[in-house]
Structure 1
């Protein structure tokens, strides 16, 4: 049983409905619009773009930024609790770790940073681009690795089409990053492309890694 003090300055947020909780951030009308359109809080916070939120009646740019900031704070709290317990031993582990990428509508490139024991230290989104292209450079990949003293990295990006088959550009980017990592003595463990319920692992399928 969850107990809450009943006072004008202490709200029992855990007992509030989703629409009531959302209305503590935006207006009641805007909260209803959001839930009617997206269905639930997870969709509202995780799978909407700022521009979409700004078009909701009563939201505007300032509130849209606030909603996305809240989503990012929650994501970082969850990652912070989980990452110290996570070891990656296979491409399937990586797939499970970033399974949310299956639902993204645009292509996103993330990098997972590991210590010498393959314990996850950090996950960083390097770029988020259009549906058909994401531009990345080795410097963007390895600057955080040097700062974190990471010994290895894993590359992950999604194909919004659902088909994880790598393109020519995917292979080219992978080779460039592997070569740059070798020069820095930072191993690229794998490059995993996320599709709809499936994945493609460069480590499993190709001799690049």
Structure 2
């Protein structure tokens, strides 16, 4: 099974190119290193593209680490140009959007676990706090996923108008608030609780119900609607 961990050696003259390999036998026959090499396109002087891809995976923390790196961080790796960094960042951005679109195919959100599954790919392990808004119709179906703000490793500034303006534009009848804790610990801070209370009261004035505020950690989450003290494992049975 291909795992992308073996360092590539010298290529044989009759070895098919990575593009030919994918076209002939499919993407499952390519390792992580080979797929990343396809995205990079070319190596640099003294280092082939597969060797560059292998080093980038190992220095960047694997696919998970690279997926969380922004384009400027990617361009800072030795041998990676700005165009290559943009391609890598673009690939991961498309993957995150696909994850969201698949999640939106849920008939409706029935629990905080559904919320976690919808947005965890965007938020879990992200190095800064990101605050998302899920706009829902009367049957709790997702109309829109909107990023309200992105902050530092400790906080994301959120103003009520930035929350409710996109909800009104989407004609949402209810919303779910979601943000991540880069520390990996999803337990709410005092500021999280105060913000939730303030937004819930604002929603009441506008006729938009704030159903929940879900805080995403590393492989875990807290639902303020279900109780701020309980940390949930998304793999646990209901």
TM bracket, shorter-chain basis: 0.7 to 0.9
- Normalised to the residue count of structure 1, the TM-score between the two structures is 0.80
Indicate if the aligned counterparts of 2:52 and 2:79 stay in contact, CA closer than 8 A. Answer: yes
Indicate if the aligned counterparts of 1:33 and 1:57 stay in contact, CA closer than 8 A. Answer: no
- CA–CA distance in 1 between the matches of 2:59 and 2:145? 30
- Normalised to the residue count of structure 2, the TM-score between the two structures is 0.71
Q: What SS does the corresponding residue of 1:205 show, helix, strand or coil?
A: coil
Partner residue, 1:20: 34
Where structure 2 has 5 or more consecutive residues not aligned to the other structure, the ranges are 1-15, 43-48, 229-238
Indicate if the aligned counterparts of 1:110 and 1:123 stay in contact, CA closer than 8 A. Answer: yes
| Match runs of 1:39-54 below 5 Å | 40-44=62-66, 46-54=67-75
Larger radius of gyration: 2
Q: Which moved more, 1:105-114 or 1:35-44?
A: 35-44
| Match runs of 1:129-148 below 5 Å | 129-148=151-170
Please point out which of 116, 119, 136 is paired with 1:95.
116
Q: What SS does the corresponding residue of 2:140 show, helix, strand or coil?
A: coil
Indicate if the aligned counterparts of 1:30 and 1:56 stay in contact, CA closer than 8 A. Answer: no
Q: Deviations over 1:31-59 (max 9, x none)?
A: 22222224543442x22232321111222
Partner residue, 2:91: 70
Count of matched residue positions in the alignment of Structure 1 and Structure 2: 198
User: CA RMSD of the aligned region, Å?
Assistant: 2.6
Partner residue, 2:202: 180
Higher relative contact order (CA 8 A, sep 6+): 1
Indicate if the aligned counterparts of 1:84 and 1:121 stay in contact, CA closer than 8 A. Answer: no
